[in-house]
Structure 1
Amino acid sequence: MQVWNGADQVPADLGPTVATLGIFDGVHRGHQVVLAATVSEAEAAGLTSVAVTFDPHPATVHRPEQDFVLIASLTDRLERLASTGLDAVLVLDYTLEFAQATAEEFARRYLVELLGAHLVVAGEDLRFGRANAGDRHTMVELGRSLGFGVEIIEDIACPDTGRRWSSTWVRELLAGGDVAGAAHVLGRTHRVRGVVVHGFKRGRALGYPTANLRADDLGLVPADGVYAGWLIRPEHAPDDGTSKRLPAAVSIGTNPTFHGVERTVEAYVLGRTDLDLYDEEVVVELVERLRPMVDFDGVPALLDQMADDVARTAAILGVPAPARPEVSFPSG
């Protein structure tokens, strides 16, 4: 899949396309229906399928005072868009100036003149143009006047609950720590991505060395607690003869037993004390929440719980459970 970072990267000889547009935050199951229709229509007509997305998220531009975090980073969003079979994605820089374009100005400049849209595919909740004044009805009218077809995909609801697939639903589930529920809406395991940094090395002293990620720049981090998951190293990471996808017990929170204040994501790769992951960008996939974060009455109780967390993680992930480390936290 080609990625065009800005209008100036779109090839002049692109030819006609089937296009769709949206933030696609999380690329959840509802997004996937729209994207699949875009790809299918393009293949049937022998045209190029293109998704137009925006970075940063409009909410962070219009309401910078709000603590808004994307479900997935742009890197992960593009990776997920690529998995749908799209030929290309156009990433437009969203600024206050860009936001002043009317719905007609946006459609004319980007969909018609830049992408040569033969057909535009969109969901029922489509909004575009200044003040989000453009909707699906606007797009149909613009298609008639500017010469492109429009296909509107009706909202698809979860058959179990009747609720429409949405980024809002994903956010609600993650806020409650329900990563398994979020995975159902997303159609894949929720993940965070970040660079491994030096921590306090408490885990190493306890026999459970962890890869530490600061929780302020990872994507949408779920509620504090302990999770079963996977730590995924980049393909270019040093080859140590093992898989780049490693089973992990993941702790999210401030380490209340040690009176911590900084919120972190810490991943212990089961049975591994030899990994040197510092300065690597890793992905942590969160499969299931084991428990909330607890302030334990001393290190021995914490060690007992950590051993149980590791055993449960291994069972959930279907991997062998490592032996409990024969260490204790130094006193004094």
Structure 2
Amino acid sequence: MNHSHPFRIKLNDDNYPAQDVTIIKDLNRKCKLNLTYGRMSASHNDKQYLLYCNSTTQFETLLDKSNWPETICNSMYSIDIPRRFPSSYSVVALNIPTQWNVENFCEELKLRYKTIIKGERMFVKGGRPIPRICIDFSSNKELTEILQSKRILLDDDNTAYMIEPYVPPTRILRCYNCQQYDDHIAVRCPNKDKPICFKSGQQHSFNPECQNAVCCAHCKGNHMAGNPNCPQKIATRENKKIQMKAIGQTPTTQTMNSNIWTGDTTRRLFGNATTTQPIILNKVHDNNNDELMKKLDSIENNIQTILKQQAEVNQLINATNIKINNQATEILNINYILNDI
């Protein structure tokens, strides 16, 4: 189980060790969690260490700040808990009046379910609230009981609300070389000699400092390729969902509403059991799209740098092969001369 939403660690005075693995080793020595992956991330000169969990046990342990050590690598530090949780930690409560205050409702639930982290009202596209609340938990234990009973209790069996499980989104791949959706990945890109910039949408080699105006390579909107709000990406996802249903690859055979997040963009997609068309939902997030874009920029830059290095290695290999072929030709010519003699 790999949780893609990291814990963010900021050491005081930016006193980070030279090797990323040093922080992992120090945390494992003090917390006994067998953590294995973490990396540095720098955004606008704000250094942070991103710590990823491999299991539910690790994730739930680190959610409790009392389990963290006093220092990391002999430095004081601060941590940010992930703002989003794995899909297995969320449910959707149904038929919650839109006039109710979500925070107050969740505080009532917390009296019974101690592992509730937060709840957020869901909205139809356009900003109209609907009677559904997404509730995030810090542990699977209480959540499992809720899923088994198919309801969440507000008190001792007297007041209960029906729930439905959270269904992960339909994944849409994107080639980081030509930016094409759901057809191939960069390693197998048939257009390696015609790269498209993920920032400007123009055809030129990878350049993380590209100064051209931001323009989507797909819809020509003022956002980068891969933006979860891109109309073409949304349409591609919907088409893929329809295709999966047509061939029977639905996430579940039960009749239920499918609740889908589209990343960190405050948007959710879920189907209504009484209709055949999906309803697009929005989820209010504390973070805005600017923060999401910073994260995407960092990911894109890392991937594009790797692609550039791979291209350079390929050129070096091709040049070496040409030299080998030339030398082989010279050896043959020498053999012909010697034979003539």
TM-score (norm 2): 0.23
Structure whose alpha-carbon radius of gyration is higher = 2
TM-score (norm 1): 0.24
Structure with higher RCO (Cα < 8 A, 6+ apart): 1
